[in-house]
Chain A
Amino acid sequence: MPEHAPAVHLRDEYETTGLGDADTGDVARRLSPWERFSNLNSVRKLTILVSLVVVWELYTRFGGISEYLLPTFSDTGAALFTALWGEHLLYMIWNSVKILLAGYVIGIGIATVLTTLAVATRFGSDLLSTLTAMLNPLPAIALLPMAMLWFGLGADAIVFTLLHSVVWPVALNMHTGFMGVSETQRMVGRNYGLRGIRYVVKLLIPAAFPSILTGMKIGWAYAWRTLIAAELVFGGAVVDTEGTGEGGLGWFIFANQMDLQIPFVFAGLFTVILVGITVENVVFRNLELRTVGRWGMQTI
């Protein structure tokens, strides 16, 4: 309609030819070595660690601090070395880890049974939510005195305490995970004939694995803290009656503090941290990479 001015500004059409021949430069250019280097998580974190160690060493060496209050980093390092090769520290680590693993594995088992019951029946669901709400806020270590009366002064009492610190966080997260499995995936599972325990094992558990893994990590962290605390407070009493005469990591710290071997106390603390880091960053990290990361269920 020529009498109306067009509402749009009319322009000539055109097509481009020979796009393939154009020199567009690099489509993907590799980052500079420095950029790639500083993109490594490990590099950046290591830098922080090294700085902390340097500050510690300088402060204790030149700050006039009593070695009974805060030993130098080098003394601590030397003590750690001596303890590892001369004082059975490795064996003591193993003592601690052994008890921990026992409590952890049994705890996950109990949590799995509880959670399976909770998804299968309304009673199970009520039971789990009530128990979790009630017992999760109770610090596991508070149960140790009673556990020692019930199970005697031995590893059993510690394992019982550890169970308490593992079961609730794992069950809670597992249940959340199960509840969050998409309706579509549930229907797919039932479509292919999965029922009952096979439905839980083959569908719900893998589908809820990100949450389960979170629960396992929290459970492990709680258990590790509880274990060291138990060994520290009741250290001598609990572990020496085992007849090993060695005790665990907590006992190592406790005994060295009594002897005023402060660098060894720090070496013990260091070991607690190292074991913690190893499990977090090596064991769980690899588990994550191989499962939820690989499956694209969680960005790692």
Chain B
Amino acid sequence: MAEATRAAAGPAPAAAPTPILDVDGVTLQYKTKEHLITATYRVGFQVYPSDRFVLLGPSGCGKSTLLKGVAGYMKPVEGEMRLKGRGISEPGPDRVMVFQEFDQLLPWKTVRQNITFALINGGRCATGAEADDIARQYIRKVKLDRFEDTYPHMLSGGMKQRVAIARGMAMEPDVLLMDEPFAALDALTRRQMQEELLQLWEDTHFTVLFVTHSIEEACIVGSRILVLSPHPGQVKAELNAHHLGHEDVGGEPFSALQKRIHDMLFADRILEEEAAPHA
């Protein structure tokens, strides 16, 4: 069944020769007080330079856990994750994470200091002046010049996420990890942020690994979408969405892709319900 779907998706289009991130048969488990949870089971995918790679799935498919694994906060019990050929063993500034939570900004630092803090401690800048320059440049990119010296608690949710994105981009990581960064925003702001992210991507073509549970967001933001099934997370399909953006929302190809993914995830639920009595 899994093989058939993979075949239907067709071979990957011509891509850069070597993947920047290689996730190979990764099983991730974590413990709660009473259970050992298998979050993902033998998940594999490759992210190539300049990919906007989306991990998409319903809650419980282990997509956030997978991202934490790539970030180095969790070790896989099986399989391997390699960044530029090197195994991932701990968190590091070559994989910067942008979280969903607004408190990812350090409240005791201003907008600019939040970025310079990352630049200096992450080892990208040796001097404060150099870090200041880079920080200003990225603050301008996310259009927050006027708020450079503002403390995070004075900013709106959308502005906080912009700072977090600027901080992540300023580090110029090999891959930018985004864990549902827009999920806590209102619908209008979310849309605006998706557009801005795409514009930023047009600038520098950075590589981003993006987690979301919204099919629409995946189709808009992603260039390639990894669809995961829940309990435990397993790869259901890898789809292309590089040709779709905001202007395609509501159009035929967009709706078709959306429906295809929807059916994929929905079919899963029916199968699960059918399987339940036998289990």
**A interface residues (Cβ-Cβ under 8 A, vs B):** 182, 184-185, 187-188, 190-194, 198, 202-203, 206-207, 209, 291, 294-297
Please tell me if the beta carbons of A295 and B153 are within 8 angstroms of each other in the complex.
yes
Chain A contacts of B97 at CB under 8 A?
Answer: 187-188, 191
Q: Assuming the A-B contacts A187-B73, A202-B121, A295-B153, are A192 and B93 also in contact, with contact meaning beta carbons closer than 8 angstroms in the complex?
A: yes
Please tell me if the beta carbons of B71 and A191 are within 8 angstroms of each other in the complex.
yes
Please tell me if the beta carbons of B106 and A193 are within 8 angstroms of each other in the complex.
no
Measured between alpha carbons, how far is A193 from B123 in the docked complex, in Å? 8
Task: Identify A206's interface contact among B90, B93, B96, B108, CB under 8 A.
Answer: B108
Question: How far, in Å, is A166 (CB) from chain B's closest CB?
Answer: 24
Please tell me if the beta carbons of B73 and A296 are within 8 angstroms of each other in the complex.
no
Please tell me if the beta carbons of A297 and B101 are within 8 angstroms of each other in the complex.
no
Task: Verify if B253 is at the interface (C-beta below 8 Å from A).
Answer: no
Question: How far, in Å, is A193 (CB) from chain B's closest CB?
Answer: 5
Q: Assuming the A-B contacts A182-B101, A207-B106, are A296 and B151 also in contact, with contact meaning beta carbons closer than 8 angstroms in the complex?
A: yes
Task: Identify B121's interface contact among A182, A192, A207, CB under 8 A.
Answer: A192
Task: Verify if B103 is at the interface (C-beta below 8 Å from A).
Answer: yes
Task: Verify if B87 is at the interface (C-beta below 8 Å from A).
Answer: no
Measured between alpha carbons, how far is A297 from B103 in the docked complex, in Å? 11
Please tell me if the beta carbons of B108 and A209 are within 8 angstroms of each other in the complex.
yes
Task: Verify if B232 is at the interface (C-beta below 8 Å from A).
Answer: no
Please tell me if the beta carbons of A296 and B107 are within 8 angstroms of each other in the complex.
yes
Task: Verify if B53 is at the interface (C-beta below 8 Å from A).
Answer: no
Task: Verify if B118 is at the interface (C-beta below 8 Å from A).
Answer: yes
Measured between alpha carbons, how far is A37 from B171 in the docked complex, in Å? 50
Please tell me if the beta carbons of A296 and B152 are within 8 angstroms of each other in the complex.
yes
Measured between alpha carbons, how far is A43 from B191 in the docked complex, in Å? 49
Most chain B C-beta atoms within 10 Å of own C-beta, residue among A182, A190, A203, A297 = A190
Q: Assuming the A-B contacts A182-B101, A184-B103, A295-B151, are A191 and B96 also in contact, with contact meaning beta carbons closer than 8 angstroms in the complex?
A: yes
Chain B contacts of A188 at CB under 8 A?
Answer: 97, 99, 104, 106
Task: Verify if B256 is at the interface (C-beta below 8 Å from A).
Answer: no
Measured between alpha carbons, how far is A194 from B73 in the docked complex, in Å? 13
Chain B contacts of A294 at CB under 8 A?
Answer: 151
Task: Verify if B128 is at the interface (C-beta below 8 Å from A).
Answer: no
Chain A contacts of B37 at CB under 8 A?
Answer: none
Task: Verify if B138 is at the interface (C-beta below 8 Å from A).
Answer: no
Please tell me if the beta carbons of B107 and A297 are within 8 angstroms of each other in the complex.
yes
Chain A contacts of B151 at CB under 8 A?
Answer: 294-296
Q: What 1/0 flags go to B117-132 for Cβ under 8 Å of A?
A: 1100111000000000
B96 — nearest CB in chain A belongs to which residue?
A191
Task: Identify A184's interface contact among B92, B101, B108, CB under 8 A.
Answer: B101
Top 3 nearest A-B pairs (CB, nearest first) are A296-B153, A192-B122, A184-B101
Question: How far, in Å, is B189 (CB) from chain A's closest CB?
Answer: 20
Chain A contacts of B77 at CB under 8 A?
Answer: none
Chain A contacts of B103 at CB under 8 A?
Answer: 182, 184-185
A186 — nearest CB in chain B belongs to which residue?
B73
